[in-house]
Amino acid sequence: MPSIDDLLTIMRTLRAPEGGCPWDREQSFATIAPYTIEEAYEVADAIDHGDMEALRDELGDLLFQVVFHAQMAAEAGHFGFDDVVAAICDKMIRRHPHVFGQAEARNATEQTQAWEATKEAERAAKGTDSVLDGIARSLPPMTRALKLQARAARVGFDWAKPLDVVDKIDEELAEIKAEITDDAELDRVEDEMGDLLFACANLARKLTIDPERCLKRANAKFERRFRHIESELRRAGRNPAQASLDEMEELWVQAKHQERSKGDGP
């Protein structure tokens, strides 16, 4: 049975100046980073589909990304794979004193609060200047918005209740309508659109729901209903480009009614 040592050897061989793979040798942290993100999404997709065989393979691909970055770091004299393992082991032990230390066991909510408190102390020890420090800029924008809002909320900068955020959404919507009406420059419209999306993320956070999950459901709903339009038009020997908007809207409503009768969606 191959071990992690075998994988490390494979990675060193691929990056070897002589006899290695030309593509692997040419890569850098920056060029590999997109693949690392892609592999993480593929892990999530396998989980979403309940495909354990795919999950096994995708976890291997993700592990290979970790090994790839560690090898490049070792070549540059920064750190090696063993240092990565040591760092995460130390962090997990430090952040679970109720398991590895003398602290009392907590329920999940209390443990989440303690975890955040430990992270806050770690950031303070590093001499950070802002409660917002440490939130990766490369995160998906919606995820980063939630993290920024949650950090600010911990020091009291937050809306009192969800309906307050709804009022803010109405305000932002009015502003983007005004920009569109005035035929404003694209940059101004984008700015207002960003404010609107940020406010929507804030509302989701206040309602303790995941906006990414909400949008994922909306995407699936749109895909189901549009595929229904395509299917019905195909029965008639046509395609969407040959149909009017009114025809497609009628088929959209038909799909919605069918879903409701089956209990598949709102």
pLDDT band, residue 266 (cuts 50/70/90) = low
Structural domains for the chain: 4-94 (1.10.287.1080), 141-209 (1.10.287.1080), 212-262 (no CATH)
How many Å apart are CA 129 and CA 114, to the nearest integer? 21
Reply yes or no on whether the pLDDT at 260 is more than 90: no
* pLDDT value of residue 264: 64
Nearest to residue 153, comparing CAs of 59, 253, 72, 162? 162
Q: What is the pTM of this model?
A: 0.69
Which of 24 and 105 is assigned the larger pLDDT?
Answer: 24
How many Å apart are CA 117 and CA 171, to the nearest integer? 34
Mapped onto helix, strand or coil, the DSSP state of residue 15 is coil
Structure tokens of 208?
């303790």
